[in-house]
Structure 1
Amino acid sequence: MSTPPAVQLGEKKPIPPDTSRRVAFAAFVGTAMEWYDFFLFTTAAALVFNVQYFSSENALTATMASFSTLAVGFVARPVGGLLFGWLGDRVGRKKILMTTIVGIGISTVLIGLLPNYYSIGVIAPIALVVLRILQGLAVGGEWSGAVTIAAECASPSQRARYASIPQLGSPVGTIMSSGAFFITAAVLSEDVFNSWGWRIPFLLALPLLGVSVVIRKQLEESPEFEALQKQDSVSEAPLRQVFSGAWRQLLVGASVMFIGTGGFYLMTTFVISYGKRALDLSATMLLLATVIAAVVQLPVIISGGRLGTRFGSSRVVLGGAIATIVLAFPLFWAISTAQPVLVVIAMTVGVAAISYPYAVSGAVLTSLFPAKVRYSGVSVSSNIAGMAAGFVPLIATAVLTVTGDTLWPAAVILVLIGVIALVGAIITPRWSVAEAGLKH
């Protein structure tokens, strides 16, 4: 079921393992920063933005408005993917990865400094949306560039393994962001946390940005991109080539990626909001559950990358999709009990199931596109999935208002997400680079 090595990534010369590890680590540091900043926003959208930036007597209306700002960032991501993907295929992977990480960090710090609705009125939610858009634009080019350079700086037999390392940024960023919120909420009173304490995790993005920039400066350019430059083969219109010659690969890549993004936000952001609003569970307990799920996600992603190396990436996606479909209804039944232990177990198991496909998604996506348009192809396909994922909590919340706040529609949504990934896994090997009408 795995994509044949001959159609994955071009290889000009052997790459030392030390180089592969160093590049993969630098890529991981950036994605950890990305997920820290981006998940800060999703958590704050579930916990405080509805009160701080939206004025409404109806708690549900304010929550949906808050989730709308979350979705706006995901709409901006494909635009960022188009821009930075094009630049990454034109000027190189390293330069763009420095730009995206700075953009993510600065926009996050500014969100932490933004006055609320009660201080500056309607300007506050407008500014929040603008900063979310800027954050989304930068995020749009970060993950795709990280997995691209990690894959291109690894030997063919180890690409699933090294391309999975940037995915560790998701649980690490989640642990840091949820941990920061958890500690802040635990130390401060609820009134103080809701008033200004929630800003502390956002302001911590500044020192994290400094560390990320220092490490990213040591990043080496992809040997495949350097080879294209030496051969004067850099694409002048990578986006046009991708949309005209590899549109099927874009759809396949998005379907594979969607389970790791849409499924994740359903099992975390939506459950946090629903648990606090409808089940009367404490924010502290829900954040702790997210941290536990993220900790378990670490070994899952590592093992997923190794399984992808051994059995093929598309097989790992297939197995994870089937597990997600089978577990969907039991997981949300457990959450509906409002028993803290069952909620923690359900969130942890659910995140683990969707993390196996996510672990190998970088290897799958980079195998679908040739080097000269790879950054663009991976950016567009991953951000199509990201844009759709941003609406998952909003859609789930809206559906539950119609069905009477029961959780079975959320289980149906998770099943549909699993089916989409299942279809993508089945057809991934058929739509290789060789069949895209594009050449290395």
Structure 2
Amino acid sequence: MTTQSEFQTLSDAAADKEHRRVAAATIIGTTIEWYDYFLYAMAAGLVFKELMFSNLDGPAATIVAFLTVGLSFLFRPLGAFLAGHFGDKVGRRKVLMITLMMMGGATALIGLLPTYESIGILAPTLLIILRIVQGISAGGEWGGAVLMAVEHAPVKNRGLFGSFPQIGVPGGLLLASAVLAFMSKIAPGDAFMQWGWRIPFLLSVILIVVGAVIRHGVEESPVFREMEKLQEKESAPVATLFREHWKLVAVAALIFAGNSAVGYMTTGGYIQNYATDPGGPVGLSRGDVLWAVTGSAALWLVFTLFAGWLSDRIGRRSSYIVGFILQFGGVLAVFPLVNQATPMSFFLGIALLTLGLGLTYGQQAAMYAELFPASIRFSGVSISYAIGAIVGGAFAPTIAEYLVQTTGTTNSVTVYLSIMTLIGLGCVLALKDRSGIPLGPEHEKQQWESPIRGVTKV
């Protein structure tokens, strides 16, 4: 006969096993998704500007290539609206499986595309269509992944668990940079431009299978199961979100914009292109730059994980304040170091940047989940994230390229990134700390109270 203490031990062991499974699924799944997404961004500056937009001159081809990176962001809200609606209606898990397939399929097809020289304008047209599919997928992926992690988490470790899908971003950047760097060794020079760049895109087929198998084994979010049991699901969650919570969506979006504008200097491929441009002031080799970005992504991953852990100790708001202050320092340091034009100074510049980036990203999942009521949470976190990505990251590489070409100096980019960082900090200061608030549907009355300072009605 099983005693009460033995039953509790069995229950705890089962819970620990499920927590490990959720952690693995969110880390691996989001890493694969962001590998696909960032692979395109890095290839835009290194490859597509020459192969897909060869009908344009050098500077114009670079700007157009980065515009295709930003174009996908315009479709992320569509993905967020769709995923938010269905995620709040039919569940988080089903949405995650669909977004994984969409992202991986589009990435693999990019690896098979002919170049402009082969089929003319059809090549960049197909490239843009596939990038749009990636954007829709990315818009739906993030909200589902973070809610699966946070809603499964013990209250005292919510920030840490929420950082697991967050490390998928630096993890995806690390993986994409490493694979491209490895291929630049295997297929150097012209070989890389002819066929070497395609291999990382085609590898996505294998990664899709791995991600699908892992995600299939994860249980649905306990919060969503409770919503089904209590029949507390909103009939039109997106409409409710914008009618009742538009101020909160704006504040949450601007917090992420303050992070993503800076982050997309590397994830959007701008610094890689700037540092490898043979006619530019830096002129580093493609391999040196890609390995440096790989190393900085590893540091970013560590700092992101640390931020989630730290937010469980000092609160989401306090950890964000520390992070944005450090990010501001990194913004001031990055281009002076990169412009010294040595592999070590380049690595040091982007490594310092990752300290603040990690500490303004790791706690985001937990904070966003704690901001919105259960019945519209998927819609709230997904749409806030997607809007923040547009305002901050969508055209950050394009803006940076335009500023440098117009002013002739990276000082203008530093000013731009500093302003975005201060906007993010200001919005954090406008929020109350809701660390540890109950997330279940039975606590919706508490969750509906405004987290914005000085605002009684959301």
TM-score by length of 2: 0.90
| 1:229-279 CA distance string (max 9 Å, x none) | 111111111001110111122122212222332211124521111111222
The corresponding residue for 1:416 is 419
Letter in 2 for 1:327: G
Secondary structure of 2:431's match? helix
| 1:60-115 CA distance string (max 9 Å, x none) | 10000100110111111111111111110011001001111111100000010111
Secondary structure of 2:142's match? helix
Contact 2:52–2:116 under 8 Å retained in 1 = yes
Secondary structure of 2:167's match? helix
Pairing 1:381–2:384 present: yes
Letter in 2 for 1:434: E
| 1:291-310 equivalence runs, <5 A | 291-310=294-313
Q: How far, CA to CA, are the matches of 1:42 and 1:174 in structure 2?
A: 10
Secondary structure of 1:284's match? helix
The corresponding residue for 2:405 is 401
Cα drift, residue 430 of structure 1 = 7.0
Q: How far, CA to CA, are the matches of 1:155 and 1:177 in structure 2?
A: 32
| 1:24-423 equivalence runs, <5 A | 24-56=23-55, 58-268=57-267, 269-277=269-277, 278=280, 279-388=282-391, 389-404=393-408, 406-423=409-426
The corresponding residue for 1:9 is none
| 1:108-140 CA distance string (max 9 Å, x none) | 000101111111110110100000001110111
Letter in 2 for 1:137: I
| 1:276-322 CA distance string (max 9 Å, x none) | 12221111111111100011122212211110000011111111111
Q: How far, CA to CA, are the matches of 1:334 and 1:101 in structure 2?
A: 37
Task: Name segments (4+ residues, structure 1) moved above 4 Å.
Answer: 436-439
Q: How far, CA to CA, are the matches of 1:267 and 1:190 in structure 2?
A: 22
Contact 2:72–2:134 under 8 Å retained in 1 = yes
Contact 1:317–1:425 under 8 Å retained in 2 = yes
Contact 1:300–1:355 under 8 Å retained in 2 = yes
Letter in 2 for 1:415: S
Q: Which runs of 5+ in 2 are unaligned?
A: 1-10, 435-446
| Greater alpha carbon shift after TM alignment, 335-344 vs 198-207 | 335-344
Contact 1:21–1:162 under 8 Å retained in 2 = no
Cα drift, residue 438 of structure 1 = 12
Q: How far, CA to CA, are the matches of 1:335 and 1:167 in structure 2?
A: 26
Contact 2:315–2:433 under 8 Å retained in 1 = no
| Greater alpha carbon shift after TM alignment, 388-397 vs 53-62 | 53-62
The corresponding residue for 2:7 is none
Q: How far, CA to CA, are the matches of 1:267 and 1:323 in structure 2?
A: 17
Contact 1:267–1:350 under 8 Å retained in 2 = no
The corresponding residue for 1:4 is none
Q: How far, CA to CA, are the matches of 1:58 and 1:197 in structure 2?
A: 24
Cα drift, residue 42 of structure 1 = 0.5
Q: How far, CA to CA, are the matches of 2:456 and 2:379 in structure 1?
A: 13
Q: How far, CA to CA, are the matches of 1:46 and 1:101 in structure 2?
A: 25
Contact 2:328–2:356 under 8 Å retained in 1 = no
Secondary structure of 1:189's match? coil
The corresponding residue for 2:450 is 435
Q: How far, CA to CA, are the matches of 1:435 and 1:122 in structure 2?
A: 50
Q: How far, CA to CA, are the matches of 2:394 and 2:157 in structure 1?
A: 32
Q: How far, CA to CA, are the matches of 2:66 and 2:140 in structure 1?
A: 22
Letter in 1 for 2:273: S
The corresponding residue for 1:3 is none
Q: How far, CA to CA, are the matches of 1:363 and 1:112 in structure 2?
A: 35
Letter in 1 for 2:153: A
Contact 1:160–1:305 under 8 Å retained in 2 = yes
Q: Which runs of 5+ in 1 are unaligned?
A: 1-12
Contact 1:256–1:361 under 8 Å retained in 2 = no
Cα drift, residue 338 of structure 1 = 1.2
Q: How far, CA to CA, are the matches of 2:404 and 2:334 in structure 1?
A: 17
Secondary structure of 2:378's match? helix
Letter in 2 for 1:316: S
Q: Percent identity?
A: 35
Q: How far, CA to CA, are the matches of 1:331 and 1:433 in structure 2?
A: 41
Higher RCO (C-alpha under 8 Å, 6+ residues apart): 1
Q: How far, CA to CA, are the matches of 2:65 and 2:240 in structure 1?
A: 37
Q: How far, CA to CA, are the matches of 1:84 and 1:313 in structure 2?
A: 25
Q: How far, CA to CA, are the matches of 1:38 and 1:433 in structure 2?
A: 34
Secondary structure of 1:280's match? coil
Which one has the largest radius of gyration?
Answer: 2
Q: How far, CA to CA, are the matches of 2:419 and 2:342 in structure 1?
A: 26
Contact 1:185–1:284 under 8 Å retained in 2 = yes
- Count of aligned positions: 426
Go from structure 1 to structure 2 and tell me whether the alpha carbon gap of 1:300 and 1:30 turns closer, same or farther (over 3 Å shift).
Answer: same
Cα drift, residue 175 of structure 1 = 1.5
